[in-house]
Chain A
Amino acid sequence: MKKLISLVLALVMLVAMAAVGGVAEGFADSYDITVWVPEEIKELTAQQIDTFNNTNQFGIKFNPTIEAVSEAVAADNMVNDVEAGGDIFCFPQDQFARLLRAKALDELTEVFAEKVAAENDANSIAAAKSGDVFYAYPLTSDNGYFMYYDKSVIPEEDIDSLEALIADCEAAQKYFAFELQTSSWYLASFFFGTGCVSEWVTDDDGTFVKVRDTFNSPEGLIAAKGIEKLVKSPFHLSSSKADSFESNAAIVVTGIWDYELAKQILGDNLGVADLPSFTVDGEEYHIGSFKGSKLMGVKPGNDVYRQAAMHFLAQYLTSEECQLQRFELKGWGPSNLADQELDAVKNHPGLAALKAQDPYSVPQGQIHGSWWGIAQVIADDIKLATDEAGLQAALDKYLDKINELFTLDNTALLFVGAWNGWNNADTSKTYYLAPKADGSYVLTLDVPESGYMGGRVVNPGSWDTDKGFAQVTEGADLIKDLGADNPDNNIVFAEPGNYTITWDGEAFTIVKN
């Protein structure tokens, strides 16, 4: 299919160069298509398609039916019935994997992929790809959050410190709205701030194959302490709506979509800034955030010419020109690099705050749908916790739930051997190499005295040695070199004892404790 479209495109381009007016060969006179866009850009999109009809070099004409369908609903509808779905539709990037699995996204051929890769920022490009293949066109690069505040309550000098902000809110008896208790999207900010990661990896079909999650770590505990400061304040409000300013809030953490509303409510008192920092044990941590994109997808189909025509349209609708129009009319933050350089875009206060938050933000890659529900309860548990053990318990519970999802996760490293009865389906956490925030994996274990004090590092459920003797660089003197007698690359300890094993991504370090 992809090759066929490529062929058609090449042909069309040749013909187009020669054609003077009229429709390029192969294309029908006009195509009836359904376009799903959010309500607020419905009219603008109609105008843009009209412009495309009149200006495109191939003489392609569309007869569009434009329906107002919000991004999230569009994804739901497409998954329900791809056939009946819109031909071109907008969706938030977190729906990408789902849409891909439902086969609702048409692959971009090279011509389009190259243009997308050249013209958009790195995050939106990453969002539009699965593996190395492009399946969508970046529409915006503004799906993140930052802080809105009421200048009449919050002094300018306090906006960098979470503690100062909480104190200001408590003094003024006003709310600090940060949706930590009902939304993982906002909750994750504190964890990203301390360097934790939750990275989910999909294969080319959009199926989740791996997760690397370090929320349950010393860094995660620091984040939990930060969250504790806010959620235990009587003036914390778990909301992300700008209209909370009407209900006695002085600070609201939300995204660019609420800018106009916040402006209308607070007028000149509206201040925007990147998120503050919090202090734990004398160290300062800047609160992180998610950043993401909205994308435009084309539904797969059998008529190669029609598909090619729709790709031309989707490309136009996400071009520099159209993204700029959307910014000017509705304040949508462009993903297009040229647009991002314009003064008007740079000087937009909301987008500027988003930009200031950018160094601390984490691209919202593909995330397993269940994660949102699992992470959501952390803040509630933290609020109920009475001591540090309680905070740790909240994180342990989180990790257990993640493990339930991927019990035999094929990225986890399990050190099987005499110590766990050679159980490669071990679900207890004891003999797993635990992922750390810096990307390394660590395990401390007791090696009991036995005839064969060896074992191997495997992916759970498998007997194939993933890594072993050959990868040990430091501490080789602590293990036996069996030479040719070790075809399975096992690690065999010379003596019983307590060992710490670290995998840094390339080599093992073994230390005897």
Chain B
Amino acid sequence: MSDVKVQKAMKQHMGLTASRRISNTAIYIVLTIMSVIWLIPFVCIVLQSFRVESTWQVGYVIPRQWGWDNYVNLAKTDFWRWYTNTFILAILTAALQTIIVLCMSYTLSRFRFKMRKPLMKLMLVLGLFPGMMTMIILYRVLADLGLTQKNSIPGLLLVYVASSGMGYYVSKGFFDTISKSLDEAARVDGANRFKVLVKIILPMSKPIVIYTVLTAFMGPWGDFVFARYISMGTSAGKNVAVGMYDWLSQDQIGKNYTMFCAGGVLVALPVTLLFLFLQRYYVEGVTNGAVKG
């Protein structure tokens, strides 16, 4: 290679790097600005939760006195009861809903039975109705079963889990991409259908399982409207969102604002942790199901 050629190549190379660097810088600047905008509210809440010089809303962000008072004060309210309620509800819903969804998806993906297509269509159509629509009648049913007010938690569990089979699309789409010959091979080796699901399909579907668990966990964790309706002012039956909302009434907010922030931080914690550790699978799960389904 002659010197001229080498120089030319080097120049080209430098030009490429430079332009890439410029575009990268621009992208990073935009992303940084956006993430700052998105993060400001969260940072504010965290900072407010450590402010101890006053309990109401103030015109500055950085606390003048730092402390754990707001977190300590939470124990003096029913907060931990609501938190436990929500946590139990979310865990149980996540477990039950995942089992139901996976079984449903596997069935619809692998079995061929009469009315399979119409059933899938029916569930799709039913899923299109807004859930709010059923709220009043569900309340009536639950009230007659005695599953409201102080028994709200089992009542809510029933509601959250009951229709979960209808959320099969994403995981069925994923199962459809796994070759059927794997099932057949396992069947030839003597595995029954259940074993095929547990030993062959599920280990290959980690992203989708985790995606299902996460979405199932998030539903009850953030529910407010239905949970509020069902608990009807009974502290023992409130979830954390409903309980904390009452601190925001006009005569309460002055006393409870910083405590509310502390509660908010604690509510965000488990979800944040879950996402941090499972983020990789979550993204995979969403894209897999969506593209190949």
Contacts and interface: CB of A to CB of B under 8 A. Distances in A.
Contacts of B148: 84
Contacts of A81: 139, 143, 232
Interface stretch (B52-60, B125-133, B158-166): B52-60
Contact of B59 (A74, A83, A246): A246
Contact of B254 (A72, A86, A243, A247): A243
B234 interface: yes
Contacts of B58: 243, 246-247
Interface stretch (A62-70, A107-115, A301-309): A62-70
Interface stretch (A6-14, A128-136, A256-264, A467-475): A256-264
A205 interface: no
A186 to B, nearest CB: 13
A248 B252 contact: no
B3 interface: no
Contacts of B149: 84
B233 A73 contact: yes
Interface string B39-62: 000000000000000101111000
Contacts of B134: none
A131 B158 CA distance: 45
B249 interface: yes
A501 B248 CA distance: 53
B288 interface: no
Contacts of A264: 54, 56
A74 B232 CA distance: 9
A173 interface: no
A261 B250 CA distance: 12
Interface in B142-169: 143, 148-149
Interface in A68-127: 68-70, 72-74, 77, 80-81, 83-86
Nearest to B78: A68
A40 interface: yes
Contacts of A241: 57, 250, 253-254
Contact of A243 (B56, B235, B249): B56
Contacts of B255: 261
B246 interface: yes
A257 B250 contact: yes
A243 B57 contact: yes
Given A68-B246, A84-B143, A264-B54, A257 B229 contact: no
Interface in B223-251: 229, 232-235, 246, 249-251
A230 interface: no
B232 A84 contact: yes
B229 A80 contact: yes
A39 B250 contact: no
Nearest to A89: B233
A215 interface: no
Interface in B55-75: 56-59
A270 B59 CA distance: 18
A106 to B, nearest CB: 19
B246 A77 contact: no
A265 B251 CA distance: 15
A67 B78 CA distance: 11
Chain B binding site: helix, strand, loop or mixed by DSSP?
A: loop
Given A84-B149, A243-B56, A67 B254 contact: no
Contacts of A272: none
B233 A67 contact: yes
Given A39-B252, A68-B246, A84-B143, A246 B56 contact: yes
Given A70-B246, A246-B59, A36 B233 contact: yes
A304 B247 CA distance: 37
Contact of B233 (A83, A86, A258, A260): A86
Contacts of A70: 246, 249, 251-252
Contacts of B253: 241, 243
A77 B251 contact: no
A310 interface: no
A40 B54 contact: no
A179 to B, nearest CB: 11
A246 B235 contact: no
A247 B58 CA distance: 6
Most buried by A among B143, B233, B235, B252: B233
A192 to B, nearest CB: 21
A242 B59 CA distance: 13
Contacts of B251: 38, 40, 70, 257-258
Contacts of A74: 233
Given A67-B234, A243-B57, A247-B58, A73 B250 contact: no
A111 B257 CA distance: 44
B254 A69 contact: no
Contact of A39 (B139, B246, B254): B246
Nearest to A260: B254
Nearest to B249: A70
Contacts of A265: 54, 56
Contacts of B250: 241, 257
Contacts of A38: 251
A252 to B, nearest CB: 12
Contacts of A247: 57-59
B254 to A, nearest CB: 4
Contacts of B233: 36, 67, 69, 73-74, 77, 85-86
21 contacts: A38-B251, A40-B252, A67-B234, A68-B235, A73-B233, A77-B233, A80-B232, A81-B143, A83-B143, A84-B232, A85-B232, A242-B56, A243-B56, A243-B58, A247-B57, A257-B250, A258-B251, A260-B254, A261-B56, A264-B54, A265-B56
Given A247-B57, A248-B59, 12 more contacts: A69-B233, A69-B246, A70-B249, A74-B233, A80-B232, A81-B143, A241-B254, A243-B58, A257-B250, A257-B251, A258-B251, A264-B56
